[in-house]
Each structure stands twice: as structure tokens, then as C-alpha cells.
Structure 1
Amino acid sequence: MDFTVIDAGLVAKLLLLLLVGMGPKIALVPFLEMTQSFDAATKAAIGRQMVVTATVAALIIFATGALLMRLLHITGGAVAVAGGIVLALLALKMAAGPTEKHGKEDLGLPVDTAKIAVFPLAVPYMLNPVGITVLIIASGEVVSIVSAALVVALVLIIAAFDYLVFTNIDVLAKRMKPASLVISEVVFGILLTAVAVQLFVAGLVNLGIITANAAH
């Protein structure tokens, strides 16, 4: 990401990456599965806590990402490779379809709504490896207050969209067909796997292990 020139292309690229990395799609099916036994008010409360937790975590990661990379002697390429690997594991589960439950209903254990809102719903489903990777890399590459403000503003815009979705999930769920949700999760899982591969390859290019020509 080149923050020296802030134009429509950079904004669109960041918005798309953050929509994948923080948007509602990856968290949607796990949220519906893990909250299906709760009433609307409880679901909305879990949604609020999930969005707030993911947003605060995202802003902290962006604020400290560059410092952490320097302290740990990690490059942006290494972050991209690691993010690609972790995202691939998550995406492959989505692409395989709903073969396992995300919740603990089958164990007969009481569900702690505060805990599930933080993990796994806020992280790693809402704030997923794409978002974490993008924010860490952006943290190390921003060159001005304006470029930093742009990233923060886009994070808050995505967070507002997430908040709107998950605090009105019952209304939206009535319009969603289970079959279409499953199909969309599988398709999105395949697309995310492709994103994971691209992250991995971009990281290898950044590290100098392969050339940019070989990546195309």
C-alpha cells in the first residue's frame, strides 16, 4: 500500500480489504448458529459487544502494529505470509460447508454470551486475519496524519455497518434462506482461500523469495 498519494484507488482498495477483514460476512453464519437459542435482545447485546470489541482491537492493532514489527524485527512480508496461512485455514473450513458446529450446544454447557462475543465472534470471525494483516501493514506504511486518519475513518465506517447488521440480525435473518446462507458461505470460503493465496504470494514477493513477475 502506497500512502504517499491518497486517491480514489487507494481508498477503494483499503475499503474492500477492510470489508473482507472486518465486515459481517465471515461472522454471520457463526453468529446465527451460536445465538439461535437466544431472544432478540440478547442477540443484539452480543452483536453490540462483538462489534465494539472487534473495533477497539482493530484500532489498537493499527496504533501499535508498526512498533510491534520493529520490536519483533518482523517485516510486512512476514505478516502477509502469516496472515495468508491463518486465513487459508479459516477459509477452507468455510469452503468445506457446515460440517461442524461453531457453538457448544451439543455439549449441554451453558453459553457465556460475553465470552462468545469476544471469542470467537469478534476475533477471529469479525476481525479476521485479512483485517489484522492489513492493519499491521498499514500501520507501518502510513506517512502522515491524513493517511492514518483515512485508515481509522474506514475502520469506523465498516464498524458502523457491522453494528447496523448485527443489532438488527433478527429482522435480517427472517429474509435469509438457510440454503442460500450455506451456499454463500461455501462460495465466500473459496474466494477467501484465493485471497489467502494472494496474501501469501504478496508476502513472498515482499520478502524477496520470489519475483513480482513470477507471482503473476
Structure 2
Amino acid sequence: MTAVSIEPVTPERWEDLEGLFGPTGAYGHCWCAYFRRRAKDFSASVGCAQPERGDTNRETLRRLTVDNHVPGLIAYEGEQPCGWVSVAPREQYVRLSRSRSLRPTDPTEVGVWSLVCFWLPPRRRGGGLGTRLLDAAVQHARANGGRVLEAYPVDTVGGRAPSAEVYTGTVRMFEKAGFTCQPHPKSGRPVARLGLKDE
């Protein structure tokens, strides 16, 4: 693989991220806002009856970026954007706190960061870029005061899953990176966690 750099998404990189996601906002006008908005608000924003669907999601991500909240990391091959990972303090992801299947078991726990999404253009999948983005996300969360990094991968034991279903990553991917994966006590969905404190 050609040399790849991975950088925080700061205001000057908004246009790069916008270009990477393209006119459909990566996953069906999502603009990586699925976990950042309440379920009813997100559903309304991608309704098929709206010709401008996704505009509110795009604005959610743009506003975070231009307000210097760093919603994630972007990968570059040379100057060309080629991948994305959404990683930030868990409290930025409104849907997690309301989710029946992923609600924090200890909502008072401090210093928890969440990794909720990867986006790679089809031609970049399967070449190790996702793993590089994961490694960079761990480093980014640790460098910015995170005590734990949490993720919500898909268990693909028994076969491959369509790429649209594994945007949160796979259990195998996180376990190889040193995460511990346990079923959520309410839903049974895998939750991956990695301590970030220096030994």
C-alpha cells in the first residue's frame, strides 16, 4: 500500500471529508450522523419523500467540524482522502445514551470514547486501511485524554457480512487490536473495549 497519513478532521479538512463522502453522504445520506442524532430526528432526515434528504445530517457533521470538535480522523494517500473513522468522546453520540441495545452499563463512567463508524471507498476495502484507521483512533483517543475506547462491532463468525452491515467494524478486527469483546448485558450485541491509561 502507498504511504498513508491519518489526520484529525479539523475545519480546514472539511472539504476533503465532504469530497470523500460524496453527494450521498457515504452510507445513504447518513453523513456519519446516525449515532449523533436522536432516532426520530435521524429517520426524518433521510425520509425518501425529502428531495434534500441528508442535508440536516451533513450540516450536523459540518458544524461539529467547523466548531473544532474533531468528529473523527481522515486518511490520505498523498493528498487524496481515502478513508474515515468516527471517534470522539462517548457523550457526543446522543443515540448511544438512548439505545436499548448499546446504552452504557455505567453512564457515570468518565473518559470513555466511542468509535462508531468506518467509511472506505469500495476500492480501498480489504487492504488493511481499516486496521490503520483503528490504530490511529486508539492513539487519538489516548492523546486527548480518553481512559477507555469503546466500539460496537459486528460478529462475522460463520461467514462474511455485506460491507454495509460492518461499518462499525468486526469483532475479529477489534480483538486483533487488543480489545476485549463482551456481549451487552441487555441486548447481547458485542461491545469492544480497550483501556487507554498508560501502564
TM-score range, shorter chain: under 0.3
The higher radius of gyration belongs to 1
Q: Which has the higher helix share?
A: 1
The alignment's TM-score, normalised by the length of structure 1, stands at 0.25
Higher relative contact order (CA 8 A, sep 6+): 1
**Larger strand proportion of the pair:** 2
Task: Calculate the TM-score normalised by the size of structure 2.
Answer: 0.26
